[in-house]
């Protein structure tokens, strides 16, 4: 982002310098009269360069405030057997598994907390949790920014406006209207399949089915 801003400023400065030099060196005829055609060309060139520079600055600012969400949703992704997925997550120290092409995280849902989950979640979502996993959309429900996994806190955190979510996507604090949205899971030939074409709205604020407090400092 900083590079784009600098490039925009440099381009603007260069346009102004070129415009002044051009007017001084070729904007006046031998008889002392200004050449209207040349002057118009120079002015339009300056305006075009200024617009290009301004567009780069604006695009950089928008990208900072609302980082784009990468990945392609709307498909089905097979990610391995439930045991294999849980083993990969455990091997990463409990860090949820990010799937770039699907735009979702796979997190482990503690089996010991299924009793609390049955009181908080509708049947369709419980089918997924019974596999010991939850597929979470990377979009923050607040304004659609891409949430990040914060290694130090052990929570999902939004870099835009500070919403924070537990490892299973339940809202802990911040302006988000709900927890992270989730995608249904099912077993197909023994493999876990994530259907990103379907989305369950995240749990309402105040839903805390697991005891997973922040482990340390927050990232955002």
Residue 176 and residue 85 share a domain: yes
Residue 59 and residue 20 share a domain: yes
Query: Which DSSP helix (H) or strand (E) runs through 61?
Result: helix 36-65
Residue 181 and residue 115 share a domain: yes
On whether the CB atoms of residues 207 and 165 are closer than 8 A, the answer is: no
Looking up residue 119, the CATH number of its domain turns out to be: 2.102.10.10
Q: Which two tokens stand for residue 164?
A: 């924070």
Q: Is residue 212 one of the residues assigned to a domain?
A: no
Residue 106 and residue 61 share a domain: no
Residue 157 and residue 182 share a domain: yes
Nearest to 183 by CA among 139, 142, 217, 214: 139
Query: Which pTM value belongs to this model?
Result: 0.68
Residue 182 and residue 81 share a domain: yes
Q: Give me the pLDDT at residue 127, please.
A: 84
Phi-psi region of 32 (alpha: psi -120 to 50; beta: other; left: phi over 0): left
200 by Cβ neighbours in 10 Å (0-12 / 13-18 / 19+) ranks as middle
Q: How far is CA 85 from CA 73, 133, 156, in A?
A: 20, 8, 19
Please tell me the distance from the alpha carbon of residue 101 to that of residue 189, in angstroms, as a whole number: 22
End-to-end CA distance of the chain: 18
Q: Which two tokens stand for residue 159?
A: 């870099």
Q: Which two tokens stand for residue 162?
A: 């500070």
Q: Which of 21, 40, 65 is the last residue of a domain?
A: 65
Nearest to 119 by CA among 19, 208, 18: 208
Query: How many CB atoms are located within 10 Å of the residue 59 CB?
Result: 14
Please tell me the distance from the alpha carbon of residue 26 to that of residue 16, in angstroms, as a whole number: 15
Q: Is residue 89 one of the residues assigned to a domain?
A: yes
Q: Which of 18, 37, 65 is the last residue of a domain?
A: 65
Q: Per-residue confidence of the chain (220 residues) as pLDDT tens digits?
A: 444 433 444 344 444 444 444 444 444 444 555 555 556 655 665 665 444 444 443 333 334 334 434 344 568 999 999 999 999 999 999 999 999 999 999 999 999 999 999 999 998 888 889 899 999 999 999 999 999 999 999 999 999 999 999 999 999 999 999 999 999 999 999 999 999 999 999 999 999 999 999 999 999 9
């Amino acid at each position: 982002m900083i590079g784009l801003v600098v490039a925009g400023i440099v381009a603007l400065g260069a346009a102004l310098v070129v415009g002044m030099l051009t007017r001084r060196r070729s904007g006046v005829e031998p008889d002392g009269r200004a050449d209207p055609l040349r002057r118009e060309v120079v002015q339009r060139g300056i305006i075009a360069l200024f617009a290009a520079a301004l567009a780069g600055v604006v695009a950089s600012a928008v990208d900072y405030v609302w980082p784009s969400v990468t990945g392609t949703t709307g498909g089905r992704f097979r990610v391995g057997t439930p045991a294999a997925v849980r083993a990969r997550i455990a091997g990463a120290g409990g860090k949820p598994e990010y799937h770039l092409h699907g735009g979702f995280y796979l997190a482990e849902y503690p089996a010991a907390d299924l009793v609390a989950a049955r009181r908080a979640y509708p049947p369709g979502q419980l089918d997924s949790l019974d596999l010991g996993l939850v597929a979470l959309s990377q979009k923050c429900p607040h304004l659609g920014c891409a949430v990040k996994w914060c290694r130090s806190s052990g929570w999902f955190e939004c870099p835009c406006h500070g919403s924070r979510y537990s490892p299973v996507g339940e809202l802990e604090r911040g302006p988000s209207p709900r927890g992270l949205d989730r995608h249904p899971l099912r077993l197909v030939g023994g493999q876990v399949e994530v259907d990103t074409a379907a989305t369950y709205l995240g749990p309402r604020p105040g839903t805390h089915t697991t005891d997973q407090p922040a482990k340390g400092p927050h990232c955002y």
